[in-house]
């Protein structure tokens, strides 16, 4: 039986393609069991954004622990505790989960302190390793109370230095708490009650791991991937396990033409469907979090092309967005980690969502009787006149377009990203009758926006920026030339949004630039917003 790609919960290693991740499993195993198991294990947290494979990882650890027959082990999913607000309710449900797992009875508990007597030789014959999945389903106060008891038990075990792990007063050898917030006490005003724990972060898949999964498919199915397809999947998802498997499923099942080779064209057809019309729970969850205030303001700021945001895990807004998969971070230098979007696929989905939210009902972009030959013909597209038409459109409909547009708190100005969204939707509307295709691209993941237009077999590129300073402008020209060169283009238009510009500076900064190395021509064009 040929395996399948699956993105619906933890994978089954007998039915699905997966990355073995042996090093990560070994690391988790060693942390929870302990370097010297006879002396005791550790209490650890397993944390990462959604769909990183946290549960699957601990399932593999549990199987390894079972083979040794040294410990009793349980993996309990605490989803049923969601919404509970009292210790009595949580303890009653927790007792029931234990009873169902071990098929034995446990005494009722109504107070947190009674948890101390649960993991004793009275109820367990061997040291216990407890894995609690979705632990952060609990509210912050209950998390603090629960892990406070775990800390107390851990401390007692550590103090019993003269006893092996099987003879200590409680037999809770090791604990793994799985969650997004990781129960680290980030949002607990009293500080972390579980500061005895070690943390294990689950990263995205590497390029080699993604290659391994798809090469496995090639071996089993006999169907090959055209050069570059697998690398493109990795690039668009940055190795996020859930999205990798989802795109793999679509490409090998839903959009598989059953040809000997899955081509780049097949990928593009599938990818366009994934972006525009196929629901994905992971993406729907990301959008649901990104559109909430106060998080929406942070996300819109991240679309700015000049300013960068420093990543700080202690910032509750960034922490929330990171653990829900809306953002990621990258190391800039030894001093700063910078916030970025987690992948081009996620950034495109967010860009499309906000564009449609704000500008899904634009007015007609031109008069039906208007002569458009200065802008578009049957064979060619002229970007500068097109951008000037957009500028006029923006000025004419300014009040209506921006009446409800989100604004920055510090100066009440419209977010830079709003103008990018508007230009994208305007171009879509303007070019739709001519069968031209407008595609947003995000080559760096950190706010940089490019629009690619495909028309009559030709490709046109626009790089969007907000004009800041002369120094930044010089950098923008070189970056635009480098990007166009990477696309195999000899020309690119640099779109510079600015509130206003006088004739002298417009003439100065709209001067065409030719890169001395690549010979790519950059055509700067101002678009005044009139704000």
- 189, pLDDT greater than 50: no
In a domain, 8, yes or no: no
Give yes or no for a contact between 242 and 282, defined as CB atoms under 8 angstroms apart.
yes
Pairing of the two strands 437-441 and 449-455: antiparallel
- Specify the pLDDT at position 36: 87
Of 176, 201, 226, the one marking the end of a domain is: 201
pLDDT at site 332: 67
167 and 311 inside one domain: no
What is the structure's pLDDT at 410? 82
- 317 in the same domain as 260: no
pLDDT at 176 over 50: yes
Q: For residue 136, which of 98, 177, 172 has the smallest C-alpha distance?
A: 177
Distance CA 204, CA 202 (A): 7
Integer Cα distance of 108 and 513 in angstroms: 77
Give domain status of residue 10, yes or no: no
Q: Is residue 12 part of a domain?
A: no
pLDDT tens digits, one per residue of 316-332: 898 889 888 999 888 76
Q: What is the pLDDT of residue 198?
A: 64
- Counted domains in the chain: 3
Residue 174: CATH number of its domain: 3.40.50.300
Q: Is the pLDDT of residue 150 over 80?
A: yes
For residue 387 the two structure tokens come to 């951008």
In the sheet that holds 172-179, the strands lie side by side as 72-77, 128-133, 172-179, 43-47, 198-201
Helix axes 229-237, 264-276, angle to 10 degrees: 20
HEC readout, 235-247: HHHCCCHHHHHHH
Percent of the chain scored above 90 by pLDDT? 69
- State the average pLDDT over residues 255-274: 96
Are both 219 and 106 inside the same structural domain?
A: no
Separation between Cα atoms, residue 102 and residue 82, nearest integer Å:
22
Q: How does pLDDT run across 339-348, given as a tens digit for each residue?
A: 889 999 999 9
Look at residue 326 in the predicted model and tell me its pLDDT.
94
Tell me whether residue 11 is in a domain: no
Is 33 in the same domain as 148? yes
Query: Which of helix, strand or coil describes residue 1?
Result: coil
> Both 268 and 301 in a single domain?
no
**2 domain residue, yes or no:** no
Predicted confidence band of residue 161 (pLDDT cuts 50, 70, 90): confident
Residue 110 sits in the same domain as residue 151: yes
Cβ atoms of residues 31 and 46 within 8 Å: no
**pLDDT confidence bin for 191, thresholds 50/70/90:** very low
- Whole-number pLDDT of residue 187: 42
What local confidence, expressed as pLDDT, does residue 196 receive?
47
Answer yes or no: do 423 and 509 share one domain.
Answer: yes
pLDDT category, 192, cuts 50, 70, 90? very low
To which H or E segment does residue 433 belong?
A: none
Residue at 65 is within a domain: yes
Same domain, 345 and 213: no
- Could you tell me the strand order of the sheet in which 449-455 lies? 437-441, 449-455, 458-466, 491-498, 521-528, 513-514
CB–CB of 456/379 below 8 Å?
A: yes
Task: List all residues 6 or more positions away from 423 whose beta carbon is below 8 Å from its beta carbon.
Answer: 390, 451, 464, 495, 527
- Which segment, 2-11, 204-213, 443-452, is predicted with the most confidence on average? 204-213
Is 449 inside a domain boundary? yes
Domain final residue pick, 201, 234, 250: 201
The span from the CA of 25 to the CA of 4, in Å, is: 22
- The separation between the first and the last C-alpha atoms of the chain, rounded to the nearest angstrom, is 62
Q: 149 lies in which domain range?
A: 22-201
Q: Region 353-372: what's the mean pLDDT?
A: 92
Same domain assignment for residues 465 and 513: yes
Q: Tell me: do 219 and 129 sit in the same domain.
A: no
Per-residue confidence at 335, pLDDT binned at 50, 70, 90? Answer: low
Say if residue 451 is in the same domain as residue 355: yes
Say what the pLDDT of residue 184 is: 46
What would the mean pLDDT of 267-280 be, rounded to a whole number?
A: 94
Give residue-wise pLDDT tens across range 449-481. Answer: 899 999 999 999 999 999 989 999 999 999 999
Question: Is the peptide bond preceding residue 294 cis, with omega within 30 degrees of 0?
Answer: yes
**If you average pLDDT over residues 389-395, what whole number do you get?**
95
Please state, in angstroms and rounded to a whole number, the distance separating the CA atoms of residues 68 and 56.
Answer: 19
pLDDT on residue 185: 43
The two tokens of residue 461 are: 């590129």
**Which of 234-248, 274-288, 398-412 is the least confident region?**
398-412
Helix (H, G, I), strand (E, B) or coil at 442: coil
Question: pLDDT tens across 208-250, in order?
Answer: 999 999 999 999 999 999 999 999 999 999 999 999 999 999 9
φ, ψ of residue 365 in degrees (nearest 5): -75, -10
Tokens 């019309």 found at: 277
Mean pLDDT value of segment 181-185: 47
Among 248, 278, 308, the domain boundary falls at 278
- How much is the average pLDDT of 161-178? 90
pLDDT for residue 485: 95
- For residue 234 the two structure tokens come to 């990795």
> How far is the C-alpha of 165 from the C-alpha of 167, rounded, in Å?
6
Same domain, 338 and 387: yes
Alpha helices in 459-520 (DSSP H): 470-486, 503-509
* CA-based torsion, 118, 119, 121, 125: positive or negative: positive
Name the pLDDT band for 8 (thresholds 50, 70, 90): confident
Residue 412 lies in a domain: yes
CA neighbor of 447 nearest in space, from 322, 340, 328: 340
- At residue 435, the pLDDT reads 94
Mean pLDDT of 118-146: 90
């Amino acid at each position: 039986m040929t395996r399948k790609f699956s993105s619906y919960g933890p994978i089954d290693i007998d039915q699905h393609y997966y990355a073995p991740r042996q090093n990560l499993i070994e690391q988790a195993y060693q942390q929870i069991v302990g370097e010297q198991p006879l002396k005791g294990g550790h209490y650890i947290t397993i944390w990462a954004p959604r769909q990183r494979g946290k549960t699957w990882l601990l399932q593999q650890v549990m199987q390894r622990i079972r083979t040794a027959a040294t410990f009793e082990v349980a993996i309990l999913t605490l989803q049923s505790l969601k919404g509970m607000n009292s210790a009595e309710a949580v303890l009653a449900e927790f007792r029931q989960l234990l009873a169902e797992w071990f098929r034995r009875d446990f005494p009722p508990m109504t107070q947190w302190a009674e948890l101390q007597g649960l993991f004793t030789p009275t109820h367990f014959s061997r040291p216990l390793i407890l894995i609690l999945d979705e632990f952060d389903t609990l509210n912050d106060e209950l998390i603090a109370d629960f892990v406070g008891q775990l800390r107390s038990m851990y401390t007692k075990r550590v103090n019993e230095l003269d006893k092996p792990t099987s003879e200590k007063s409680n037999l809770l050898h090791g604990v793994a708490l799985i969650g997004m917030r990781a129960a680290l006490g980030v949002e607990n005003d009293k500080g972390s009650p579980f500061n005895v724990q070690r943390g294990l972060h689950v990263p995205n898949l590497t390029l080699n791991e993604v290659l391994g999964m798809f090469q496995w498919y090639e071996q089993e199915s006999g169907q090959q991937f055209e050069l570059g397809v697998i690398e493109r999947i990795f690039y668009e998802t940055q190795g996020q396990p859930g999205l990798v498997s989802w795109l793999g499923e679509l490409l090998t099942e839903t959009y598989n033409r059953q040809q000997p080779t899955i081509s780049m064209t097949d990928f593009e057809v599938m990818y366009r469907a994934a972006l525009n019309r196929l629901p994905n729970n992971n993406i729907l969850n990301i959008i649901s979090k990104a559109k909430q205030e106060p998080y929406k303001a942070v996300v819109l700021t991240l679309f700015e092309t000049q300013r960068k945001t420093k990543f700080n895990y202690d910032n509750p807004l960034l922490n929330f967005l990171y653990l829900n998969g809306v953002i990621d971070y990258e190391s800039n230098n030894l001093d700063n980690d910078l916030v970025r979007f987690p992948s081009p696929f996620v950034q495109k989905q967010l860009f499309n969502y906000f564009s449609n939210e704000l500008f899904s009902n634009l007015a007609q972009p031109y008069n039906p009787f208007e002569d458009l030959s200065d802008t578009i013909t049957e064979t060619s597209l002229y970007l500068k006149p097109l951008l000037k038409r957009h500028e006029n459109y923006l000025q004419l409909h300014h009040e209506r377009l921006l009446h409800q547009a989100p604004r920055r708190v510090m100066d009440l100005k419209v977010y830079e990203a709003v103008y990018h969204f508007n230009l994208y939707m305007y171009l879509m509307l303007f070019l739709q009758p001519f069968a031209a295709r407008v595609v947003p691209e995000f080559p760096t993941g950190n706010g940089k926006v490019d629009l690619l237009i495909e028309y009559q077999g030709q490709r046109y590129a626009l790089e969007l920026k907000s004009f800041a300073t002369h120094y930044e402008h010089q950098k923008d020209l070189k970056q635009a030339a480098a990007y166009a060169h990477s696309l195999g283009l000899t020309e690119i238009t640099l779109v510079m949004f600015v509130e206003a510009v006088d004739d002298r500076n417009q003439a100065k900064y709209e001067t065409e630039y030719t890169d001395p190395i690549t010979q790519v021509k950059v055509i700067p064009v101002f678009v005044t917003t009139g704000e």
